Amino acid sequence: MPPAETPIALPIPLLPLGFRVGGIHAGLKRNPSRQDLSLFVSERPATAAGVYTTNLVQAAPVAFDHDPAESLPGIVVNSGNANACTGDRGAADACEMAAVAAAALGVFERSMLVLSTGIIGEFLPMHTLREGIPTAARSLGREREQVVAAARGMMTTDTRPKLAGESLTVNRREITIAGFAKGAAMVGPRMATMLGVLLTDAALAVDDAQRILAAAADTTFNCVSVDGHTSTNDTVLMLANAAAGGGPLAGDELERFGLAVERICSLLAREIADDGEGATHVIRIEVDGCRNREEARRIARTVADSPLVKTAVHGADPNWGRIVSAAGYAGVSFDPLGLRLELNGTRLYASGGPLPFDAAEVSRSIRDHRETLIRLSFAEGAAGICFFSSDLTAEYVHLNADYHT
């Protein structure tokens, strides 16, 4: 039984020119009020880029989507079933899902990408998809309700759709980017993560699209962990259809566009942590003073994934020894005497020993804010990272002890 819905956290973005989207209830989820099938479609050829899970056990759609061809007009997404660990039959099902969508939209069969999310190890209900996909194709549009429905069709135990967007003027043309994501659990990305879809009407060369998406995912989606469990299905796709006009972005324009993509991914990544299963706090972990970003990320992820840190935040408990000790087993070498720790702005630890602080006040600060800020400063170098996590609650346990049945 998925948790109750919560309000959408961010403004609903404008849809870039030349795209239509939609989401319907096809029947993969039991509750008929919950969308489980979405389409993201470009009316014109689009450049596609993708980043994928590094899990060795990869779902059928991940294999299907690798190395997308140019000029792909769309993405078909189902929730409620991950089509993972389903062998040859799963691969054939992913292929047929794309074919059915292509037929419904009147495009070439290899022009659709496929995303699936939900339970692992069960075969897709193909009869449901064969009926549902043409219905979803008829629901496509550009209205706010269709944008929200498309985001809802990706959700599993997410309590709200995750949407973010931005418009910017580049070379006197208005360019729009819209982002969609789902998270909730089995979120512990390594390289790629969860499901994400970015649509833009900018014109992008294929290599630039891939580079920008990979760089943005690296500092945003790859810096989120709900439970440290890297999914079999993690994928982020970007479609750029050039409908805003103008030639492919280059130089400073491309740079500015890349920063906008990173901002949108960052908002969506934070949303994933904030809406982590059962979460009552989003935890922002800022690590600096490291030799390189990978070491900073490794320390941040180790702190983020410690059940002891996560439960301490849930209990509004400034039990900072759990944070310092998690940093110590991250597998990164550092001088413990150079480590300083702040929790919600209060300095707790430096030079190898505790600093006096008002525990009741720090506890109140954790309790009173949805976001908890952990700042770890090292004396090794100049690299840093910002990582998002969620707290660990009894609700997470209840949700996951009872998801399958």
Q: Are the CB atoms for 14 and 173 separated by under 8 Å?
A: no
Which of helix, strand or coil describes residue 8? coil
- For position 333 contacting its own copies by CB under 8 A, the verdict is yes
- Judge residue 135's burial from the number of C-beta atoms within 10 Å of its C-beta, 0-12 exposed, 13-18 middle, 19 or more buried: middle
Q: Which of 328, 346, 371, 377 binds its own copies (CB under 8 A)?
A: 328
- For position 346 contacting its own copies by CB under 8 A, the verdict is no
Using CB under 8 A as the binding rule, the residues of this chain from 193 to 222 that contact its own copies are none
- For position 319 contacting its own copies by CB under 8 A, the verdict is yes
- Identify which of 266, 208, 238 has the alpha carbon closest to the alpha carbon of residue 65: 238
- For position 398 contacting its own copies by CB under 8 A, the verdict is yes
Q: Which of 4, 56, 67, 251 binds its own copies (CB under 8 A)?
A: 56
Nearer to its own copies, 244 or 327 (CB): 327
Using CB under 8 A as the binding rule, the residues of this chain from 134 to 193 that contact its own copies are 185-186, 188, 190
From 71-79, 157-165, 173-181, 313-321, give the range in contact with its own copies by CB under 8 A.
Answer: 313-321
Note if 193 is an active site residue.
Answer: yes
- Beta strand ranges found along 142-186 (DSSP E): 162-170, 173-182
Counted residue by residue, the chain has a size of: 405
CB of 295 to its own copies, least distance (A): 12
Q: Are the CB atoms for 161 and 275 separated by under 8 Å?
A: no
Helices (H), 30-140: 60-65, 87-105, 126-138
CB of 277 to its own copies, least distance (A): 9
The amino acid at residue 54 is T
| Catalytic member of 53, 193, 230, 393 | 193
Tokens 């480590």 found at: 339
Identify the bridge partners of residue 235 per DSSP, sorted by sequence position: 52, 195
Nearer to its own copies, 134 or 321 (CB): 321
- For position 262 contacting its own copies by CB under 8 A, the verdict is no
Nearer to its own copies, 262 or 277 (CB): 277
- For position 379 contacting its own copies by CB under 8 A, the verdict is no
